[in-house]
Amino acid sequence: MQFGLIGGVLGHSYSCEIHAAIADYEYELRELKPEEVHPFIEKREFRGINVTIPYKQTVMPFLDEISETAMAIGAVNTIVNRDGRLYGYNTDFFGMTAMLEKHGVELKGKKALVLGTGGTSKTANAVADSLGAAEILTVSRTKTEKTVTYEEALSLHTDAEIIINTTPVGMFPHGCGRPVDISLFPDLSGVADAIYNPLRTNLVLDALERGIPACGGLYMLSAQGVKASALFRDIPCDASLVEKAFTQVENGKKNIVLIGMPTSGKTSVGTLVAEKTGRAFYDTDDITREIVGMPIHEYIRENGEAEFRKKEKEAVAKAAEYSGAVIATGGGAVLDKDNVRALKRNGTLVFLNRPLEKLQAAGDRPLSDDYGKLVKMYETRLPVYMKAADIVIDGDITVSEAADTVIKEMKL
């Protein structure tokens, strides 16, 4: 290995893509068991590596020199091999600082809660202190001299103004989780989550829905990667590469989710967008059909709409876990707020706003099999689509024009 990443479980990692956007070298992922860490480090068969959960503290005794920043934080996430001597650094400090500043999460003079006690938690504490936080409390499941419990946080510290999550709660493949309910913190003015997969965790979405500045960890990952790459190659850090790496990886990982009325062209447009961008295409109606084992209109007629919506919800949850895909949804999928939330974790919702007069009632669609039902459905659903959408596309154009517009709006 020349350059790479070591950690416990790395299936969720975007580090290869980050480093590919930064420089022209091979970057490998190496999952290690706890007993394999020391032998791996001792062999010194690498030029530079990043270190992630749960080994940011484990590696420290095996290094020859550790930077003042990493030593003060008590965690190393970057190791450079210089002529057989191992130097440890903490580029997460640079990354988290850049992330907070980029997204307007201001800590100066504020009370902050740092959730978790691992290496990233130590970094978050150091960053919060450097940015002038008035008070910093570390929240843990276990009470210690240096931490408060989640129960104490919810009973004694609901005046917190900043929350920084460094736990894996909400991380793929368990994206439904959230470490705390931010509605219990009325003074909250900023939220940051070190998790980058999904792109927006429930914690981040909760904050954004309340108009609170919030960010996921991809910008932090991008920034620390740029800093680490400079250390690997012993060159000055080019901060301008952070935006490039972040944008390139975010665009590559973000799903394009098409929403809209039945017969608005979601499947046709989505298929063409996928072809033009080289992305995989999924249709939640197709996934639902696989789940129920029969055509959807037959299932609805036999079991009712309510039962269909339950199965559709399973299909949406499955589709929402993809990344870098194009997803066409059923016309009523966004009526369920949980579906919208799931799709937004990794996706941008694009509403194909086709005029009512261009839509068609169809016999194989029992919920809109005559024009009267279609009109009522349109009037009911239009405000739902508009509220859920991140981007609205004029649907009164050709499929090719609509696909090109989606690609342009997504900056692909």
Helices (H) and strands (E) in the chain, counts: 16, 17
DSSP assigned state of 330: -
Choose among 126, 64, 130, 42: nearest CA to 92. Answer: 126
Proportion of the chain in helix, strand, coil states, percent, rounded to 5: 45, 20, 35
Say if residues 342 and 257 touch (Cβ distance below 8 Å): no
Q: Residue 56 catalytic? A: yes
Q: Which amino acid is it at 333?
A: A
Spatial CB neighbours of 36, under 8 Å, sequence gap ≥ 6? none
Spatial CB neighbours of 308, under 8 Å, sequence gap ≥ 6? 288, 292, 296, 299, 300
Cβ atoms within 10 A of the Cβ of 370, count? 11
Q: How far is CA 3 from CA 13, 45, 93, 236, 296, in A?
A: 15, 10, 20, 18, 50
Cβ atoms within 10 A of the Cβ of 404, count? 16
Say if residues 90 and 75 touch (Cβ distance below 8 Å): yes
Out of 33, 43, 56, 122, pick the active-site residue.
Answer: 56
Cα Rg for the chain, rounded, in angstroms? 24
Which residues are known catalytic residues?
56
